[in-house]
Copies of this chain bind each other. A is one copy, B any other.
């Protein structure tokens, strides 16, 4: 057991003055936010990308990003950049991970924080300010500019994990959806097929779906019932975990 030793010379400890000098001078690094914006449309999971306009990456797609201002909170910067680049506000936005290899950006040292957002393609109008802002089927996302492929892969993986543990997916669907929509969503995100009956059983047993007593319109087959997700009930009841499993 290690015990405290007040008398040891604090070699690695710095005074506030030293730290201030370091913070103010040569140790600073440019910091950016990159937004990974997922949407769901035509039963496919999509992501918003723009063309890179850097010569080094001509023709390649990239994530939406920009530098963080020295006087704004990191989360705030994420919302600002998302708003600026797509017109979107009032959406789910979550920090995923930070990427900081020295040479990840051709303009110099830029450490970037990835934020992930899930939006309902039907209900959010995009404000297209940027270079070919585009929804891309995630199946076709390869070879992005910078280290954006790695960032994208990380975010997709985290989405796959989180969507199984939290009702995130509903942010990607219209307010009223059919069970088929819901299953399509999960199948698209997780890239698997599920048994329809068991999928329904599972969601009904969770007891968060509210039957709206409405039917789908304009489908070329027997229409399904429409449901909404009861977020209030979920918030009240949530959290029970504990289940070791690996």
Contacts and interface: CB of A to CB of B under 8 A. Distances in A.
A6 B192 CA distance: 35
A202 B55 CA distance: 56
Interface in A1-15: 1-6, 8, 10-15
A111 interface: yes
A8 B95 CA distance: 30
Contacts of A22: 30, 67, 107
A75 interface: yes
Q: What is the oligomeric copy number?
A: 2
Contact count band on A: 35 or more
Instruction: Tell me the dominant secondary structure on chain A's binding face.
Output: loop
A27 B202 contact: no
Interface string A3-44: 111101011111110011011101111110000000001000
Contacts of A190: 242
Given A13-B50, A23-B107, A190-B242, 13 more contacts: A1-B41, A14-B53, A16-B54, A16-B106, A20-B108, A22-B107, A23-B105, A68-B100, A71-B109, A72-B102, A74-B100, A75-B100, A75-B101
